[in-house]
Chains A and B, each alone.
Chain A
């Protein structure tokens, strides 16, 4: 081991904003490489929805009659979409928590990189990861009889709405990742938040049959509204105000969560 002669090397010069983007892209790539190198993780992300599809489609599905000329599978698949992408956000919490406790974030904080890049790269990477996940679920749905009658534009809109929402809550999970004592706890802390939101919604059963006090919540809470808007768009039904409701939830949650996440990132000791 011998040290080479050390002429100092000048960094490139670019504007602050250009560096923020460049650093963010580098960190996004880092997040995505991790997913491609551990394909098992992505595989198991898809196994759970597959099991839900089979379970609900063939075990419970026979007992649930949505009415309105719809098959249960038409109700189910949009619900599975929402559930998978929402649960997938736990990955943001786990990834950040691991970086934090392995000292990787310390190293990043000692580099002249943009402050925003660590959180932006993690959440953006998790967003990009959701694209193939969404495609696989869509194909899986077609295989078990899902027939979306919405226009292509509406289906694409539904997918964008889903991805945007998943991005917003990814920032929420970033807060958990930054505050949990370790990644296992981060994961455990996430589920009690996710279960009521996904199951007390129209994701797996029509909300019409729920008691009225629950129905109000199930229809309008963030995940519930998203289920309704995704489903209406995909099935080509009148969307009502749910799309706007979901959009409003996503924007509000993104604003709140990202503010808190950035603040916790600054504060971590």
Chain B
């Protein structure tokens, strides 16, 4: 079957010489969720903007359902839905007006616009807020309306740029369900995310980009297998103990233990079993841990494993301080 989205050697350099994309290629199968992962500034948004005809690439080409994004932008636009990274909604309009306006600008019939707005407001738990202007919405409500706006035209291909950033766990789960249902009905979804957990749950294929280039491709399980399914995190009173512990724990997990200040982390395949072994080794060596936790690998761990360095912070890091933090289940010992 032909790919729903086909991207070949995309290059984009911004004014001022920022190389946002240096030759990215991938293909997305129809009716699947494709995850685009990468740290801040990797080029995810740039790729999405090119694929949605908002931005022209400097080189390379891309098609959506066989239509070229540069040569046939109008054809592409009538096939896609976009929820950009910033909730690009109209603050001064009500939720309903926003949805109806998008329907109208999609050149859809007025009665469809009306009923579709009602339907989407209900689907995204915004019925009660539907006739309030967006100024009065919370961040999460705005985000949900933005996602609803992307669905107005029932697009065959949906682009979601960090769709769940800023959503509470319940809304996030709700959105995941919406995406899964859309996909089960045949929609193709390309999403960017900072959360491995999200990519894991939704995406059947992933590409990881960094500094504008692809550094890894595969299924989520392939990616995780490459670095181990669980991270063991042990903290000590001082850096000296962490050093010693790293020596003691060498050979326990995949690769060498990583030292981060007073803490040591190892990637392992079988969490509980390896954890017991690690605890025994630490006990034997007489080291006293202040913290012992098992957590799922975060995107940081993926980047560390793939690039050997931490995901680089960028300017907008401050605005989203919790974005890339691993959200594991910590158990103090």
Contact = CB atoms under 8 A, between A and B. Distances in A.
Contacts of B181: 2-3
A107 B87 CA distance: 10
A132 interface: no
B105 A110 contact: no
Given A2-B181, A9-B153, A19-B107, A103 B93 contact: no
A8 B154 contact: yes
B257 to A, nearest CB: 42
A245 B169 CA distance: 64
Interface stretch (A31-39, A76-84, A156-164, A183-191): A31-39
A11 B78 contact: yes
A131 B7 CA distance: 50
Interface string B60-103: 00000000000000100110101011111111110001000110
Interface in A1-56: 1-9, 11-12, 14, 19, 23, 26, 30, 33-34, 37-38
Given A26-B101, A33-B93, A11 B106 contact: yes
A6 B182 CA distance: 8
Contact of B149 (A3, A102, A107, A109): A107
B178 A1 contact: yes
B258 interface: no
B106 A111 contact: yes
Nearest to A5: B185
A113 interface: yes
B172 to A, nearest CB: 11
Contact of B54 (A1, A5, A109): A109
B101 A30 contact: yes
Contact of B185 (A3, A9, A109): A3
Given A12-B109, A26-B105, A113-B105, A1 B86 contact: no
- Chain B, interface SS category: loop
A108 interface: yes
A64 interface: no
Contacts of A4: 119, 123
Given A104-B88, A107-B82, A1 B154 contact: no
Contacts of A240: none
Interface string B105-142: 11111001000000100011100000001000000000
B107 A7 contact: no
Nearest to A16: B74
A89 B125 CA distance: 39
A121 to B, nearest CB: 10
Contacts of A104: 88-90
Given A26-B105, A107-B84, 8 more contacts: A6-B154, A9-B153, A9-B154, A19-B107, A30-B90, A111-B106, A112-B77, A113-B105
Interface of A: 1-9, 11-12, 14, 19, 23, 26, 30, 33-34, 37-38, 102-104, 106-113, 117, 269
30 contacts: A1-B123, A2-B178, A4-B119, A5-B185, A8-B154, A11-B106, A12-B107, A12-B108, A14-B107, A23-B105, A26-B104, A26-B105, A30-B90, A30-B93, A33-B93, A34-B92, A103-B88, A106-B49, A106-B52, A106-B84, A109-B52, A109-B53, A110-B80, A110-B82, A111-B77, A112-B74, A112-B105, A112-B107, A113-B106, A269-B14
